[in-house]
Amino acid sequence: AGKKIELPAYFESAGFRGFTFRLKKNEEIYGTGERSVPLNRRGYKLNLYNQPAYGYSMNAESLNYSVPFIISSDGYGIFFDNPSKSYLDIGKTNNDIMQYGASSGELTFYRIPGKNMDEILRKYQSLVGTQPIPARWVFGNLMSRFGYRSEAQLMSTVNKMKAENFPVDAVILDLFWFGDSIQGTLGNLDWKNKTAWPEPKKMIANLNQQGIKTILITEPFVLNTTPNYEVSKKFQAVDSAGDPFVLTTFYFGNGGLLDLFRKDAQDWFWSKYEPQIANGVTGWWGDLGEPETHPSTMNHNLKDLGFNRIFKADEVHNIYGHYWDKMLFDKYAKEYPSVRIFNLNRSGYAGSPRYGVFPWSGDVSRSWDGLKAQLPLMIGMSMSGVPYIHADAGGFAGGDGDKELYTRWLQFATFTPVFRPHGTALGNMDPNAKDIPSEAALYDDPYKSIVRRYMQLRYAMLPYNYTMAYQQAKFGKPLVRPLFYYGSSDSNLLKAGDEFMWGDEILVAPVLEKGVAERKIYFPEGNWYNLITDEKITGHKWGSEKTDINNIPVFVKEGSFVPLFISSDPVKNTGDYTGKDLTVKYYLSAQTSAYTMFDDDGITNNTLGKGNYELINFTGRAGTKKITVKISGSHKIIQATRNIKFLFPADSKIIAAMINNKPVLKNKTGSVMNEFKNREDLIEFQYSGKPLDIVITLQ
């Protein structure tokens, strides 16, 4: 028999309608979207209303992306499917009561049972959708700042990065691509400053030839100082008289907001994207889509969605960004069906990830508290079904250019869904803003060298990271997972809120405070290997690790297989990866363990749906004198032959190796992860999709 379910009570109060639910004494509640409050949201009354918070750090209760979904430690989730202005009072007013209140709309909720977070998230995402597998280049270094002000400045910075052997997969252009000032230019949506950007199409082609994608910012506001304003007025949200609503207190200038619930408004907005796609632009950055300024007296027309009345802003506020995401996804599906969309959008709703959205955590403070805020925020979003949340790595708002903070943030960002250093460098556009570079090549040593080494590690982990994208698309698994993701009676897993799992195999404990010589870490049950030194640590206990500026503590679970892309030459970008040469490190375990690696062509849309991908299955077990590994494949063969190097921890001493009863080459390597100077035994062989039985004899 299943658990007894207590039905919620209905209420109406102070303009809100909703339900109350009883909470058990020690029940913990997770999810609710983007917040920098503790992972357990019990004791908080949280607004479900997307809103920016410039320069936020710890304890920001409301941010750009709220999600009306919770997961309980008692083995269930609840999705409140209502995008209107709402709230969740999770035991703040009454400790044993959770109350959901909505300002308008239908009151629909789904109760989702599950034995652990993995099962609950899988069921939830079967309802709202998982995120399609992104292009492989999305896992590379995305070069970004506010902002590159000219072609000359951009290309000079790209050349500097390349000369210093920093890989670059994309450049992201802020609002200066369509204007020569911060204010008064939103809505231009074209290259207006021909002096700064004389030949954008040629520039983009030049970058593409180097394997570097171009991503442009857009916003849904059109200001009355731009040439598009008059024609766009018929596509804007309106006031009570039905006239275009004029924003007069908006930071960027006076103007209107496109009513993106309307098909004609979407078509007009899309007409501004198409010329840039023709110019070679690969992806998009959608900003201010909460919407940032959205007066409650503004009205929206949802007739194209089947509604025969006008909607107030508060009724549809939280789903505005969602429909912007849907617009781009649908247009790409129709016009460019083979392309995997990249949409870096700040705001959305439950289910927005199914439209290929990569949200970032807003205008975070460039401070240690800003860095610290990213863990509960990122894990909370992951537990809300938003898997590709990430930050402006290095911080964005304010700050004094602390090089240690920059280094620690980028070390942490190496193990986040998107690696995108970002910062402010405005020059004479804003003399009061301090220029703090986001590009590592512009720093001095030792910081530059440390960040280069971690970028190389990011690229080395490309096959592992890309497999996590498959795990999300197929099974709904987040890339970032709390230690208690699979459930456990170990209460310490809940206490270790400043650690996380990067996939199932890797534990990351970022350094979040200035000048710390060591940090406390909880190691879950089992044995763990230091990713850098191969030091073995027995788990189910607290420990302490030294944390000099060179490294952050990262550990791999015993029994893990970690596929790697190891290049003898400096990697320029993800285009250097073909999958033909693969390195797999097996962290020995006496228990049988398994791992499945995913691979496809890295660029064509919907390979998963069409079956155009390859799975490589690894199983292994290590005895005192013998290691056995089996490799098999399924689906299509992406590479006819792969050259595989199999690595083992440094204390392993191989004296013989057989594959399908034939001896194979045994060798040594001194640079497993470029400058990470591990020395390990390895064996080398070829894999062509046919099953292999490997038996390795140890000394």
One-letter amino acid for residue 438 of the chain: S
For the residues 581-607, what does the mean pLDDT come to? 95
Average per-residue pLDDT for the chain: 95
Amino acid at 67: V
Residue 673 confidence (pLDDT): 38
Half-sphere exposure of 331 (CA within 13 A, CB side): 20
Could you tell me if 435 and 405 are in contact, meaning their C-beta atoms sit under 8 angstroms apart?
Answer: no
**Based on the domain organization, do 611 and 541 belong to the same domain?**
no
Q: Tell which residue, 490, 480, 484, 547, has the closest CA to residue 516.
A: 547
Same domain, 538 and 648: no
Backbone φ and ψ for 680, nearest 5 degrees, come out as -140, 150
CB 359 within 8 A of CB 382: no
User: Does some domain include residue 383?
Assistant: no
Q: Read off the pLDDT band of 639 (50, 70, 90).
A: confident
Report yes or no on 163 lying in a domain: no
For the record, the structure tokens of 332 come out as 């790409």
Q: Are residues 111 and 5 in contact, defined by beta-carbon separation less than 8 angstroms?
A: yes
**What pLDDT band is residue 2 in, cutting at 50, 70 and 90?**
low
The domain boundary, picked from 540, 556, 572, lies at 556
Between 92 and 672, residue with greater pLDDT: 92
- What distances in angstroms separate CA 410 from CA 414, 434, 527, 544, 599, one per listed residue? 6, 20, 27, 22, 27
Count of domains forming the chain:
3
Parallel/antiparallel/unpaired status of strands 16-22 and 66-72: unpaired
> What single letter denotes the amino acid at residue 159?
N
**Lookup result for tokens 């198409």:** 274
Percent of the chain residues past pLDDT 90, beyond the cut:
88
For residues 498 and 566, state if they share a domain.
no
DSSP for 608-645 reads HHHT--EEEEEEEEE-SSEEEEEEEEEE--SSSSEEEE
Helix and strand element counts for the chain (H, E): 13, 37
> Residue 295, preceding bond cis, omega within 30 degrees?
no
Confidence of residue 252 (pLDDT cuts 50, 70, 90): very high
Residues 547 and 583 both lie in one domain: no
CATH number at residue 115: 2.60.40.1760
Name the strand (E) or helix (H) holding 335: helix 320-335
| Beta strands at 642-647 and 581-586: parallel, antiparallel or unpaired | parallel
Question: What is the pLDDT at residue 671?
Answer: 38
Residue 625 has pLDDT above 90, yes or no: no
Domain boundary among 515, 531, 556: 556
Cis bond before residue 543 (omega within 30° of 0)? no
- Rounded CA gap, 652 and 586, in Å? 11
- Tens of pLDDT, residue by residue over 86-111, are 999 999 999 999 999 999 999 999 99
**DSSP 8-state assignment for residue 371:** H
Burial class (CB in 10 A: 0-12, 13-18, 19+), 486: middle
Q: Is the pLDDT of residue 139 over 50?
A: yes
| Contact (CB, 8 A) for 328 and 267 | no
pLDDT of the residue at 666: 66
d(CA 255, CA 493): 50
pLDDT at position 672 is 39
From the list 356, 501, 365, 292, the residue with the least C-alpha distance to 36 is 365
Percent of the chain with pLDDT over 70: 97
C-alpha dihedral (187, 190, 192, 196), degrees to nearest 10: 120
Residue 267 lies in a domain: no
Amino acid in the structure at residue 152: A
Distance CA 337, CA 131 (A): 16
Average pLDDT of the residues in 133-140 = 99
Q: Where does a domain end: 531, 556, 581?
A: 556
3-state secondary structure of 658: strand
Judgement on whether residues 494 and 581 belong to the same structural domain of the protein:
no
Q: Is the dihedral of CA 289, 292, 293, 296 positive or negative?
A: positive
Name the residue range of residue 537's domain.
480-556
Whether residue 608 sits in one domain with residue 685:
yes
Strand 44-48 with 86-90, pairing: antiparallel
Q: Which helix (H) or strand (E) holds 151?
A: helix 151-163
404 assigned to some structural domain = no
What are the tokens at 644? 């595989």
Beta strands in 187-278 (DSSP E): 213-218, 221-223, 255-257
The pLDDT of residue 650 = 65
| CA 207/CA 214 separation, integer angstroms | 7
In a shared domain, residues 94 and 122: yes
Closest by CA position to 117, among listed 27, 30, 2:
30
Q: What does the DSSP 8-state code read for residue 169?
A: -
506: which residues sit within 8 A by CB, 6+ positions away?
A: 415, 464, 531, 554, 555, 556, 557, 560, 562
Residue 25 has a CB neighbour count (10 Å cut-off) of 6
β-sheet with 66-72: strand ranges across: 29-33, 66-72, 76-80, 109-113
Segment among 156-170, 554-568, 589-603, 680-694 with least mean pLDDT: 680-694
What digits encode the pLDDT tens for the residues 438-495?
A: 999 999 999 999 999 999 999 999 999 999 999 999 999 999 999 999 988 899 999 9
Rounded Cα–Cα distance for residues 163 and 166 (Å): 8
Same domain for 662 and 649: yes
The string of pLDDT tens digits covering residues 198-209 is 999 999 999 999
Is 358 among the domain residues?
A: no
Eight-class DSSP state of 254: S
pLDDT of residue 489: 86
CA-CA distance, 459 to 465, in Å (whole number)? 9
- Cβ atoms 145, 437 nearer than 8 A: yes
Work out the pLDDT band at 636, boundaries 50, 70, 90: confident
| Pick from 637, 620, 632, 616: nearest CA to 690 | 632
**Residue owning tokens 């990122």:** 378
User: Residues 441, 555, 37, 113: is their CA dihedral positive or negative?
Assistant: positive
Per-residue pLDDT reduced to its tens digit, 480-535: 999 999 988 899 999 999 999 999 999 999 999 999 999 999 999 999 999 999 99
Burial class of residue 13, CB neighbours in 10 A (0-12, 13-18, 19+)? exposed
Instruction: Point out the residues that are catalytic.
Output: 287, 290, 363
Where would I find the beta strands (DSSP E) of 151-264?
170-173, 213-218, 221-223, 255-257
One domain, residues 574 and 486:
no
53, two tokens: 């918070």
Sequence-distant (≥ 6) Cβ neighbours of residue 179 within 8 angstroms: 185, 188, 192, 193
Mark whether 18 and 87 lie in a shared domain. Answer: yes
The answer to whether 290 and 83 are in contact (CB under 8 A) is no
Q: How confident is the model at residue 3 (pLDDT cuts 50, 70, 90)?
A: low
Q: Is residue 433 part of a domain?
A: no
Model confidence at 577: pLDDT above 70: yes
Examine residue 31 and state whether it is found in any structural domain, yes or no: yes
Nearest to 36 by CA among 381, 492, 319: 381
Q: How far apart are CA 455 and CA 381, in angstroms?
A: 24
Does any domain span residue 2? no
Confidence of residue 294 (pLDDT cuts 50, 70, 90): very high
Phi, psi dihedrals of residue 640, rounded to the nearest 5°: -60, -40
User: What is the spatial distance between Cα 246 and Cα 74, in angstroms, rounded to a whole number?
Assistant: 48
Q: What is the pLDDT of residue 668?
A: 54
- Distances 111 to 69, 79, 360 between C-alpha atoms, Å: 10, 7, 28
- Residues 552, 566 within the same domain: no
Note whether 678 and 672 are within 8 A (CB).
yes
User: Both 596 and 694 in a single domain?
Assistant: yes
Q: Identify the CATH number of the domain in which residue 513 sits.
A: 2.60.40.1180
pLDDT value at residue 675:
38
